[in-house]
Structure 1
Amino acid sequence: MNTSEVAELERELLQNEDLDEDDNEEKLTAQDVLEIIEKAWLNEKFSPEILPHKTEYVDCMLEQIKYMESNISFLQSTDIQVDIYKFELERIRYIITSYLRCRLRKIELYAFYVLEQETTRNSEDRYLSDSELKFAVEYIQNLDIHFDSILKKMPWNLQTLEDPNKRIKPNMDSYVFLRANKSVSNVIIKDVFENREEEVELLENSQHLLPYSSVVMYIKDKSVQLL
């Protein structure tokens, strides 16, 4: 099945009424929501840090999946398209599951750093959803309990573990592969090895391998897409 056939299948599966976006007047179709989730999944998969959550879109798509399953149930079981539709539904579930697992892995790996950064943001700009924030707090609490139980058995001079030693930070200077969704000028590329900067222009649809720290703002404003 080629790309155009998959896209057509998704349109058929997701054919539904428009979906409200954040209680404002903007309307999104189920296909729009799926595309947002797919892009968020790729960005999350390839970025070193955790990115702003898309929980509202995930919840919306999970509801949409229930609607699609209901529609499929009305088709004849002998219809070959039933299996194709079910396969596509599994693909959508995989994307959502992979997206959420990727975020949880980052929370576990960078728990102290993630929570430290989260305290600097107001409630509207939080990167973590409410459930992710609860998970991160409980994860750190359990981690502290675990470490404390072990450290008590160590020599007295090794019974403390300072917070800076606990904090593992993402490598913001790691390189990422990306495509420019639109032309972006005056992008400052930092070369950490030669300690110099270079100004470049990203042309629409061009692809690049660049330091994450140099393009992170353009990822978050959707000017570029990680691949």
Structure 2
Amino acid sequence: MMENDLALSDQGSDAGSEEVLTPAELINKLEEAWLNEKFAPELLESKSEIIECVMEQLNHMEQNLQRARAGDLKISFHHMEIERIRYMLSSYLRSRLIKIEKFFPHVLEKEKTRGEGEPPCLSPEEFAFAKEYTANTETLLKSVALRHMPPNLQAVDLVKLVPKPNLDSFVFLKVKEHQENILVEPESDEQSEYAIDMEVGSQHLIRYRTIAPLVASGAVNLI
């Protein structure tokens, strides 16, 4: 019940180019985005197009189920697949919402300083939510400061007040594209920086900061 191919615009190619995906490939991309977002310590690039295509595909699958004959044994399996996709989708969106609430000033600062051509970290809806959350937090903190703090301590700097994502945390990953000479930072002052090669299919436990660009490019997946 997943017959229609879907097209995603390819941001890494020439303007107007599209990547045509089968439904199975689309769901694989959703799963990769979900796991990467779940295990990355920072908010990753928004995958709005994938989310929109998955929701379109879910509607298509549900319409097919409504037309299926009663008693068809395949119906229960398709219901299970729909629920699996819905779970990944909701978990992905929930993970992003939690990070936005936890790191909102840093997320907005990163979005404001994003270079030309860089993909956005926030969807338009997430950006609106982050701005509203920031405004409400500032209002609350300023009202508390006015009542309980001396005038010279009433200024609120959320970027300094709210902790940043811990990019030095360690993550598990699986390699999709062969990588050579990946510089690894030492874990103590007694060690020196060294380089490693990562073969396709190999798994590693490594500091997130080291491989963050590879996660962004899709060369590795977090697991």
TM-score (norm 1): 0.88
Matched, 1:116 2:148: no
- How many residues end up aligned between the 2 structures? 214
CA distance in 2, matches of 1:26, 1:177: 28
- For residue 143 of structure 2, the aligned residue among 132, 135, 149 is 149
Q: Secondary structure at the match of 1:185?
A: strand
Which residue identity is paired with 1:76?
R
1:179-218 alignment, distance < 5 Å: 179-194=174-189, 196-218=192-214
Q: Secondary structure at the match of 1:196?
A: coil
1:129-168 alignment, distance < 5 Å: 129-156=123-150, 158-168=153-163
Aligned-residue RMSD, C-alpha: 1.7
Matched, 1:67 2:60: yes
1:91-102 alignment, distance < 5 Å: 91-102=84-95
Q: Secondary structure at the match of 2:182?
A: strand
Structure 1, gaps ≥5 residues long: 1-12
CA distance in 2, matches of 1:214, 1:44: 17
Q: Which runs of 4+ in 1 moved over 6 A?
A: none
Are the aligned partners of 2:138 and 2:156 in contact in 1 as well (CA < 8 Å)? no
Structure 2, gaps ≥5 residues long: 10-15
1:24/1:162 Cα in 2 relative to 1: closer, same or farther (>3 Å)?
closer
Q: Secondary structure at the match of 1:179?
A: strand
CA distance in 2, matches of 1:148, 1:224: 43
Corresponding residue number in structure 2 for 1:15: 3
Give 1:192 deviation, angstroms.
4.6
Q: Secondary structure at the match of 1:73?
A: helix
Matched, 1:57 2:11: no
Identity %: 36
Of 189-198 and 205-214, the range deviating more from structure 2: 189-198
1:90/1:203 Cα in 2 relative to 1: closer, same or farther (>3 Å)?
same
Are the aligned partners of 1:112 and 1:166 in contact in 2 as well (CA < 8 Å)? no
Are the aligned partners of 1:112 and 1:168 in contact in 2 as well (CA < 8 Å)? no
1:131/1:81 Cα in 2 relative to 1: closer, same or farther (>3 Å)?
same
CA distance in 2, matches of 1:144, 1:105: 18
Q: Secondary structure at the match of 2:185?
A: strand
Give 1:83 deviation, angstroms.
1.6
